[in-house]
Amino acid sequence: MKNRNLLIISTAFAVVLIFISCGKNYSPEEGKYIAEIQKFRQEKDEYMKSDSNSPFNSRVKVEFTPLKYFDPDPGFVFKSKLYEYEKKDTIIIFGTKGEERNAVRYGYVKCNYDGKDYIVNVYEGVTKGGEKYFSIWFTDKTTGKETYGVGRYIDFEVDHDKNFIYTIDFNLAYNPYCAYSPEYSCAIPSKEDHIELAIEAGEKSFH
């Protein structure tokens, strides 16, 4: 019980430090959200360090150090409908090892930042096991500087309700496994997937 209380106090103190370091006043709801993001990141670090399926524990061993992130920022959480393309083109994208891949440009979401709408594509793909998945991959003004030079990803799950309002949370933007280990190849975002905005949220470069 004592250790648990210490953990709660430490977590609360960490959240307070975030508020001070950012120089921003957050609502209690935003504070709770930030604590959840921090907890998620701690759990991901533990997975990356210990799990046998982690890229740090694959055939090519890579020394683990905690992943790097921007401070959680509720300002980079957006709400949008999914606007499906009438014609869902199958396009060719390239992996980081030069191989061609097929992906379906399924639709897009709109993210309004400082009064301007940014279009973000949603792609449909198929895993090697034949399972369908949806994903956002993008580059932005931080790419190749604070963030991984290939780009970053956000997982996406399509709802059957055409009027469903999605949450697009760039605090959950992450690096593909090729950012950590040369054993992996990952999809390279196209020029159409560039967001002309410095998205200072989510994961930073590992190296």
* Mean pLDDT of all residues in 97-102: 95
Q: Which of 129, 137, 131, 142 minimizes the C-alpha distance to 93?
A: 137
Q: At 105, is the secondary structure helix, strand, or coil?
A: strand
**In this model, does residue 12 exceed pLDDT 50?**
no
pTM of the model: 0.86
> Is it the case that residue 46 has pLDDT exceeding 70?
yes
Measure the CA–CA gap between 165 and 159, rounded to whole angstroms.
9
Confidence of residue 95 (pLDDT cuts 50, 70, 90): very high
Question: 112 has which bridge partners?
Answer: 117
Res 158 pLDDT > 50: yes
Residue 20 has pLDDT above 70, yes or no: no
Is the confidence at residue 122, as pLDDT, over 60? yes
In whole numbers, what is the pLDDT of the chain averaged over residues? 90
- Report d(CA 88, CA 206) in Å as an integer: 34
Higher pLDDT, 70 or 22: 70
Tokens of 108: 């897009």
Between residues 90 and 24, the one the model is more confident about: 90
| % of the chain with per-residue pLDDT over 70 | 89
Does residue 6 surpass a pLDDT of 90? no
pLDDT at 44 over 70: yes
The residues, any chain, with a CB within 8 Å of residue 89's CB and separated by 6 or more, are 104, 105
- Provide CB contacts within 8 A for 140, sequence distance 6+: 147, 194, 195, 196, 197, 198, 199
Burial 129-140 (b: 16+ CB within 10 A, else e): eeeeebbbbbbb
What integer pLDDT is reported at residue 59 of this predicted model? 84
pLDDT of the residue at 23: 52
Bridge partners (DSSP) listed for residue 122 = 107
